[in-house]
Structure 1
Amino acid sequence: MSEAPSAPGAAQNGREQGAGTGGKVLYGALDLGTNNCRLLIAAPAGRGFRVVDAYSRIVRLGEGLSQTGRLSDAAMDRALAALKVSAEKVRRRGVTRFKAIATQACRSAQNGAEFVERVAAETGLRLEVISPKEEAHLSVAGCLNLLDRTADTALVVDVGGGSTELSWVDLSGQARAARLTPGRPPVRAWRSIPLGVVTLAEQFPEGADAPEVWFRRMVEAFRSRLEGFTGADSVRPAFDTGRAHIIGTSGAITSLAGLHLNLPRYDRNRVDGIWMTRAECEASANRLIGMTMAERAAQPCIGPDRADLVLAGAAILQAVQELWPCERVRVADRGLREGILLSMMAARQRRRPRGRGGRTTHG
């Protein structure tokens, strides 16, 4: 993964400063997806980081893309508004190491490159449209410390707005004994499916069928795109013998967890890292199937912005569980932004000389 040398508007005199962080270098990561624009600004702290600022806005950049093949003017305007807020935060905080990525919507849209140029001209942000493979690896890097090292395999499922990335992570043998680092996650196999919560929901509009039938159609649509994949067959025995688990990262999956916990309002500290059984995931999905759109919107961990998308995410998770069955699912309220930050910090530590007998540590 390439690392941008500096943030937009950052000082170019070679000095690295962090506003309000005791002189520490500040890192920034921005993820512009099909549904969300997310920014995270952080300072290194031990083997991880301390969050200094964060921003997230649902922009639905990929709205209508599956029908037209293009990003709409309204969607681009929404995304640009969020990107301008993000750029201002980056400048105000004095971020000096920064990376901004764009994923499936910009990869697949006919006018994706044109939009990226417009973003640079209007905000100063240089978006890098990353490949599905890099997206999958960054998702794993962001979730490394949620992996159960007593298992032999983990399947990281990153459900996006326009695509879903699946990564089978090797945790057995030498990989178990080694230290896992963001720059070199032990990914045995990966697969990108060009279906996410936005594209799946648009393909199967709600109300055309009975709720149970509609949900099942979404499950089958995703299954049909995944079931022929044989690249991870070498780790299937771990799933067959209960030595594997799933990590699910997406707003839809964290919403399922919040519903499962009956939270009065969303609480990341309660959700991130929680273990759910397969039966509990299905029970939360069944609760949602029995609700109207308005009832889902009234749920504190869903809200109106996700009310029409959360069941598409639940359908994707169920399809994965049917094809790669395991009893344990760990919910991750983290993903690409954290993967970018940790990868940049680890790369910088590897490049730093060890002079004066000091030791380097990875972020």
Structure 2
Amino acid sequence: MGFQIYPLDSLKEVVRLAGGLGPDKRLDAASQSRAILALQRFGERLRSFSPDRVRAVATNTLRIAKNGQEFLRTAEAALGFPIEIIAGREEARLIYSGVAQSLPRDGKKRLVIDIGGGSTEFVIGRDDVPEVLESVYVGCVRFSRDYFPGGAIGRPAMKAAILAAREEIQVIRKAFVSAGWDEVIGSSGTAKAISEVIEANGLGADGITAEALDALVGRLVRAGRIEDAGLAGLKPDRIPVFAGGLAIMSAIFEELGVIRMHHGEGALRLGVLYDLVGRTQHEDMRRISVEQAMRRYAIDIAQSQRISLFAINLWKRLKIGSDEEREQLEQHLLWAACLHEIGVSISHNSFHKHSAYIVTHADLPGFSRREQQAVAMLVLGQRGKLSKIQLQLVSPAQRAAVMCFRLACLLYRRRLDLELPEIDLSGGPTRFRLEISGPWLEAHPLTVFGLQHEAAEWAKCGIDLQLHPVQEGGVSARRSAAGA
């Protein structure tokens, strides 16, 4: 990437949020409390950082927790920064990015596996480029809790845990085995802990092998409990989740036919840091994802550029919201303009609904779930009734951004460059004045009809949008007077 990250300080607390996820898929109060207290302490350390220098992400547990959004609001308040829930494949991409930084660029095809607390990520890639990415719902915290309660390890329980993990992994087996790999890298705590235990107990000296895993499983089963197995090299904080992680690792070796795995440095945290720095170094993965989607769905680039330039031009005239919110919404307008017609590939009828669905659910590397939802809201609101997005318009700035986007889509509906010498949008947050060249409006009665209908639609939301024809030079003259 052309830059290197060096740690100056670090702070780590073990929370294991996945352990608080009950059968009803709700986080219990104890796990939430542990997480909030940890985030408050992190927030104290980060208090002096500007928001564009901090990125916090949440993974599998908050992806599936039914009360995840409720918890997220409290968590963000405790940390003092936004927390992004990222999709499984996005987590896999970031993990691979972090691991790749510590490995040589030698063109080897690598399978990177990261066993987390609630999910396990699998990636095949070369150098910095991931090629096959998947996230599977098997994690060391959940498996340790479900199959080895109280730390008891019996042969039937270990067999059941391995079979359960294999059942989940078999879904991705064909794609990964057919892609192939030259070497296997295990990242994060489980792979590191297993590798250290194998070496410290004389079960192997060159990474993790199937034979070493079998020997380790046998030793735990015979002991009945990890504490009684006399394992050298096992750190105390790994004891509660070691058996579950070992079962998953054994299942991976059996199901994918892995022969040997080496532990690799770097993982999700480092990947997030490189992704964050990349956004300021003209290597924003979100931009790359949008461009790839535009090519894949053969989106009309010229029309997207017309819409984005016009909508952002109107948006910059309005001074609504904080600087941070304004900058964020400008970025959302750009992405929405690029992707607003992506649903045409399904059907022209109600294409905006198809577009919004695709933007919401597509794998867009670099995007958080919240970002995709925000862009999808703009895409859905590009035309038609505003009632379908009204509940999502929680701030005056969001409403103004939607107005700018809808006006751009309306005025460029003919898909031609406009010769529009005079236009201005002012006011807010509940009263807006749209000034357009009078002679131009007289020559475009269909557009006038559309603008009148647009004003009526905003009136249903309690927003007054007034259309004012002006004579040539009227807008620019008023701007000059205001500037004076």
The TM-score with structure 1 as length reference comes to 0.68
Percent of aligned positions that are identical = 27
Q: Does 1:133 align with 2:89?
A: yes
Distance 2:10 2:211 in 1: 33
- Give the corresponding residue for 1:359: none
1:231 deviates by 2.8
- Name the CA shift for 1:329/1:148 in 2 (closer, same or farther; >3 Å): farther
- Name the CA shift for 1:262/1:94 in 2 (closer, same or farther; >3 Å): farther
Q: Does 1:117 align with 2:61?
A: no
Unaligned runs of 5+ in 2: 285-484
- Give the corresponding residue for 1:201: 144
- Give the counterpart of 2:176 among 215, 219, 232: 232
- Give the counterpart of 1:260 among 183, 198, 222: 198
Q: Does 1:341 align with 2:341?
A: no
1:87 deviates by 1.4
Aligned length: 279
Q: Does 1:246 align with 2:179?
A: no
1:64 deviates by 3.9
Q: Does 1:293 align with 2:226?
A: yes
- Give the counterpart of 1:308 among 240, 245, 262: 240
Aligned partner letter, 2:165: F
Structure with more strand by fraction: 1
The TM-score with structure 2 as length reference comes to 0.52
The one of the two structures with greater contact order (alpha-carbon pairs below 8 A, sep at least 6) is 1
1:210 deviates by 6.4
- What is the 5 A alignment of 1:1-363? 47-91=3-47, 97-147=53-103, 152-169=108-125, 171=126, 180-181=127-128, 185=129, 187-206=130-149, 211-229=154-172, 230-236=174-180, 238=181, 244-262=182-200, 275-291=207-223, 292-295=225-228, 300-303=233-236, 305-350=237-282
Distance 1:109 1:275 in 2: 35
Contact 2:18 2:117 in 1 (8 A): yes
Structure with more helix by fraction: 2
- Give the corresponding residue for 1:37: none
- Name the CA shift for 1:64/1:91 in 2 (closer, same or farther; >3 Å): closer
Distance 1:208 1:51 in 2: 35
Query: Match of 1:143, SS?
Result: helix
Distance 2:230 2:21 in 1: 24
Query: Match of 2:16, SS?
Result: coil
Query: Match of 1:55, SS?
Result: coil
Query: Match of 1:317, SS?
Result: helix
1:213 deviates by 2.6
